Amino acid sequence: MTERKIIHIDMDAFYASVEQRDHPELRGKPIAVGHAEERGVVAAASYEARRYGVRSAMSSQKAKRLCPSLIFVHGRMEVYKEVSRQIHDIFHEYTDLIEPISLDEAFLDVTENKPGIALAVDIAKEIKQKIRERLHLVASAGVSYNKFLAKIASDYRKPDGLCTIHPDQALEFIARLPIESFWGVGPVTAKRMHALGIHNGQQLRACSQEYLTREFGKAGILYYQFARGIDNRLVEAVRIRKSIGCERTLEKDISNRASVIIELYHVAVELVHRLENKDFRGNTLTLKIKFHDFRQITRSLTQNRELTTLDTILPLAKQLLKEVDYAEHPIRLIGLSVSNPHEEEDRRGVWEQLWLEFKD
């Protein structure tokens, strides 16, 4: 079997870099894409801002405390989408096996590529160069024999990075990798890993599959495989829309039940509108709550019927809300999504992010 050649391309500080490209007066300055008001959140931060500790999803108030000279710029999603399309035009010069992860990130399978270039790293170099020359933006690239390692490689030398992980280097590379760098290991899982004495890839590899499955469920199988450099997932050129969601960041934190129900109603109405526009049908409803301290939880319910109307969604949303203790923990954000669609043939080929919000 031919060894696969996978490239992961990740645009560096994408939204912020587009703004600095289009507005020369912002170049070299710390900027944040987002809103500066009291309830605002940073959608993206330039590398100049990141040096102060400013990060995406951070409250605007905290960002300004960390970087008093921070310049806020309103996002232009239509512009970012158009630039993303231009980036994908470059990808298609090499392969049509492209799996978008977000507007600024994608996997490419170049095992068989249009120019017939032997080395994937040479393709990655050309893509980075064309993005720089044509779009005046900077990308990082990772090259390896599977998606997990290509993703890790692209993060390894950012910004403007290029890293290749060869098969004969993979196990040694993974052994030194901090557990936080593993795909699917967020802050909560990392904390659990640390409590179990797992801090890096070598310690993860020492764990049996049975142990990891017992501790982390199905994800434990992935962790077991990743620790051994195994990832059999294919680059999927066609993505099926898995869910549709929407959310509201409230003007002020609330804990009064009546106020929460009113906000939940507004989110449910918006969700129904988006479901109608996309002709999307699913039977799992998920409630997302972010508290005043930015702690976040989700609660889900699956039904044996499609959730497409306010009459079916709002009662379930209220039922999920009953599981949330917000009397002593005021709510900052409320979100709802519908997922678990029936994968009908005529609905294939459409992809959409779960939560419709800025990410970088």
Which pLDDT tens digit goes with each residue over 144-190?
A: 999 999 999 999 888 999 999 999 999 999 999 999 999 888 888 99
Query: 356: pLDDT confidence band, cut at 50, 70 and 90?
Result: very low
Q: Is 105 a catalytic residue?
A: yes
Q: Residue 104 annotated as binding?
A: yes
Residue 248 in contact with residue 336, Cβ under 8 Å?
Answer: no
Q: What is the per-residue pLDDT across 12-50, written as a single tens digit (0 to 9) for each?
A: 999 999 999 999 999 999 999 998 887 788 999 999 999
What average pLDDT does this structure show over 270-292? Answer: 91
Share of residues in the chain with pLDDT > 90 (%): 76
CA distance 15 to 2: 37
What pLDDT, on a 0 to 100 scale, did the predictor assign at position 352? 36
CA distance 174 to 169: 9
Domains and CATH numbers, the chain: 1-166 (3.30.70.270), 170-226 (1.10.150.20), 243-347 (3.30.1490.100)
How far from each other are the two terminal CA atoms of the chain, in whole angstroms?
Answer: 36
User: What's at 43, amino acid-wise?
Assistant: A
Dihedral sign for Cα atoms in the order 275, 278, 282, 286: negative
What pLDDT, on a 0 to 100 scale, did the predictor assign at position 1? 57
CA distance 185 to 192: 10
Q: Which of 19, 48, 99, 105 is catalytic?
A: 105
CA distance 179 to 187: 10
